[in-house]
Amino acid sequence: MNILEGYQDAKGLRLALVVSKFNEFITERLFAGAVEVLKKAGADDQTLEVVRVPGAFEIPLVARHLALSRRFDAVICLGAVIRGETPHFEYISREASRGIAQAAWDSGVPVIFGVLTTDTVDQALARAEGVEQNRGAEAARTAIEMASVLRALNRRRPRGAAARRVKKAGRPR
């Protein structure tokens, strides 16, 4: 049985973070948690790029652009949508999650969902504290693992004549 798993080593990974400025008192905590995990895992400042966007609704467009650029091994999306008195919460939450997933599917690059969708500010704060329960830190760990899994899968791809046989026959010989 062959088992392939990712690992928590960010050395050499090129990572982008898309961070919403809306609810900044929360998103900055998510960002700090993510950066702490990335640094502890060996990420270098030179391989990290941070893009700040107005709100969670704007995250997917920028994430897709970064992922399609092929300059990054993973894109981490951080934001906070807190329920209010109008249906705005549902629209923003739905489109942010759908758009982030679509960016990953369109690009084949891990685009990680680190957007909090909570009913209250207290719930958001609880998910942005420390490192263990911090969802930004969790998103960073997921990005590292997914980037390493995809690198390993790409190393297994047939090259040259073998790749042509796979394409032509539909399976390797």
* Residues with catalytic function: 88
Written as six digits, the tokens of 71 are: 């300059």
Asked whether 18 and 66 are in contact (CB, 8 A), the reply is yes
The CB density around residue 96, as the number of other CB atoms within 10 Å, is 24
DSSP-assigned beta bridge partners for residue 111: 75
DSSP-assigned beta bridge partners for residue 16: 49, 75
